[in-house]
Amino acid sequence: MEVPAPYKTAGIVNLACGAFTLITNLLWVLSLIWLCVGIFWLIPAAAGGYQAWIGWQMYNGQPSPAAKNAAIAGIIGGALGINPITAIGSVFAFMQVGNDEVKGWLEQHGAA
């Protein structure tokens, strides 16, 4: 069975949002490290890296049981990083992974 289109779409969105979250939060770390508050942005940066990594796997068609978790990490990373674009994109990816076709495909491949 071929990879469902909503799953690949969620993968692209997770990859893009995760990379953007990672980059923007690392910029916050670098710019605010001298105020001793820059360390806070390492948490959303890590969430963005995780989301991008899982998004890459999803886009390549690998069934990932962490697909929803990556989207949730992106929502949290976008919210903590004060980045509404990535938070909204992650909500969209979460909705795509919740599609019935995607759920069935993930269950068939043992990743649900």
Indicate yes or no: pTM above 0.85.
yes
Contact 97, 69 (CB under 8 A): no
Q: Is 32 among the domain residues?
A: yes
Total number of domains in the chain: 1
Encoded tokens for 71: 């989207």
Q: Is 44 among the domain residues?
A: yes
Q: Is 99 among the domain residues?
A: yes
Q: Rounded mean pLDDT of the chain?
A: 91
How far apart, in Å, are the Cα atoms of 30 and each of 21, 36, 42, 65? Answer: 14, 11, 10, 33
pLDDT tens string 13-54: 999 999 999 999 998 888 877 777 777 888 999 999 999 999
Q: Is 28 among the domain residues?
A: yes
Rg (CA), the chain: 15
Residue range(s) defining the domain that contains residue 69? 18-107
Share of the chain above pLDDT 90, in %: 72
Angle value at C-alpha 42, between 37 and 47, nearest 5 degrees: 140
Q: Is 26 among the domain residues?
A: yes
Q: Is 60 among the domain residues?
A: yes
Q: Is 92 among the domain residues?
A: yes
- Cα dihedral 93, 54, 84, 99, rounded to 10, equals 10
Contact 92, 6 (CB under 8 A): no
Q: Is 7 among the domain residues?
A: no
